[in-house]
Chain A
């Protein structure tokens, strides 16, 4: 009896949820090395991300978190290494992957509306030249509703608050109806309301069997929001279920001040 009550409590705690780990690998990264100049930003990264996890990538500034995502998505060209999505090269699997860039990476004074930005999420499946039609518009409106931004659909994007802009970016990725979502600091500079809205959407995605990978800065919320975590500091420190590896040892290894990597190694 005692065990059962414990289980119930465990079930109600988000951090103790068993990840829907089916044994299928959503993303596999092998020997990934990336350098901007001479100094490697990422060194020999091997990473296996099982399907259905909600994973945080944590690490100090300059640890290569964004670079890792950008390299997986072929935005940056790695020096070495390979990436497969469900066993095939990323290039063949683009439609399974959606990307939420950092909010600050674009100019929000661009002359366009919230709906227009979300519509961009449909462009990938449309392909070259074809115009979005009613079907695409409907999908975009649905995504806007999911992030609670339907009322702002005609708003010029510069007139949205930071949190609203982040939600627009999220909606744009949702429209892609992908299997794997990569998000670069979606919680940066958003208020509590938006943070809750975003995390609810992430959890919904996981419930639907999607894999979500999030670059995350707030260590406090890792156990609460995520079930999988990767510690990164140029090298991969550890990756696995939060309840197993989210501990002081790994945190010190990742954030410790003496940690250094060089090519000579």
Chain B
């Protein structure tokens, strides 16, 4: 199946439709919530939470013996939340920095989860096969009820986001100040964190424990490059996330045996790289272009100022001077002189140059103009 075939089948084929919808929803909800994680400088929180969810999955299986994904994800949710609150407790109660706390919980829970998984695999229970899909995710196992679950969570998340938008925004920007306004910042904080955990747990089946944090961060990091408004950033992150889901699914479905989760993450990474380079205001490319252009303008202005300095010594400002004189000025090149002529600031006659009235006036006003532009 190639990609065009995929897009013609996606609306009719049950499996393809389910997986595509599922990954799109997942991308949207993690993108939205990821914006908050990124702006709170808690980028690694997602990684810690997803790893912390693993033992929950294993324990839920050990207790129930069933492989129903909802029950396993409930286990993941519980242990994800436990991990999150331990992280918070470590940060507030000890001197450890947050990255240490995150790393500690991540590896502890993940190690414990792996231990349980290997223990389960040694059991004579035929049912145990396939639990390891939560490590790297397996989008193909998504069924309609999973998608409904994602749709409901995305809906609730969107609703809560709109409801508490102003509270979320102030908390993200200035938590102490928000507290003095009389808001219960702990409640807002727990609300955000709970939703982040929920979104991560939802994605475990599709993307897996190991790559889940990328779903949270990549769309948000890409979106930040394009806008200076929080609302737009959250919206863009959701769009980028959804598209990563759809394109990732399309690519993996059209190339046999490509695992969906990693492809989705790679597509999201492409969004990030593209945004880092091509965003008009923050992107590397335009930053560099602006930098070079500014430098050229400055060089041009400095040359003009130098010429003005020479021309000033004569009563007649358009009195011709030798081009040789300009070699004393470091920033001077033939090209800048050519440019000045093009701009009608100067004229060249053989090996002599002279300023035009326009050029003289511009040069005289250069500094004052520069300083007014600054402010």
Which A residues are closer than 8 A to B by beta carbons? 70, 73-75, 94-95, 97-99, 101, 105-107, 110-113, 116-117, 120, 123-124, 126-129, 131-132, 156, 172
Contacts and interface: CB of A to CB of B under 8 A. Distances in A.
B163 interface: yes
Given A106-B174, A120-B173, A112 B230 contact: yes
B146 interface: no
Contacts of A70: 176
Nearest to A37: B95
Nearest to A119: B166
B180 A75 contact: yes
Contacts of A95: 182
A73 B180 contact: yes
A111 B233 contact: yes
Given A120-B169, A124-B181, 15 more contacts: A74-B180, A94-B182, A97-B180, A101-B174, A105-B176, A107-B41, A110-B39, A110-B173, A111-B229, A113-B228, A120-B173, A124-B182, A128-B164, A129-B164, A156-B228
Interface string B224-242: 1001111011000000000
Nearest to B224: A111
Interface string B168-183: 0110111011111111
Contacts of A106: 173-174
Nearest to B223: A111
A111 B180 contact: no
Contacts of B39: 107, 110-111
Contacts of B132: none
B51 to A, nearest CB: 27
Contacts, number: 78
A241 B41 CA distance: 44
Contacts of B299: none
Contacts of A94: 180-182
**Chain A CB within 10 A, most for which of B166, B232, B233:** B166
28 contacts: A70-B176, A73-B179, A73-B180, A94-B180, A94-B181, A94-B182, A98-B180, A99-B176, A101-B176, A105-B174, A107-B41, A110-B230, A111-B39, A111-B224, A111-B229, A111-B230, A112-B228, A120-B169, A120-B173, A120-B177, A123-B166, A123-B167, A123-B170, A124-B183, A128-B164, A128-B167, A129-B163, A132-B166
Contact of B180 (A99, A105, A132): A99
Contacts of A126: 166
Contacts of B178: 123
A112 B181 CA distance: 19
A112 B166 contact: no
Contacts of B233: 111
Contacts of B180: 73-75, 94, 97-99, 124
Contacts of B177: 99, 101, 120, 172
A144 B17 CA distance: 52
Contacts of B165: 131
When A and B form their complex, which 6 residue pairs have the shortest distance between CB atoms, in order from nearest? A124-B181, A156-B228, A99-B180, A94-B182, A75-B176, A106-B174
A94 B232 CA distance: 32
Contacts of A105: 174, 176
Contacts of A172: 177
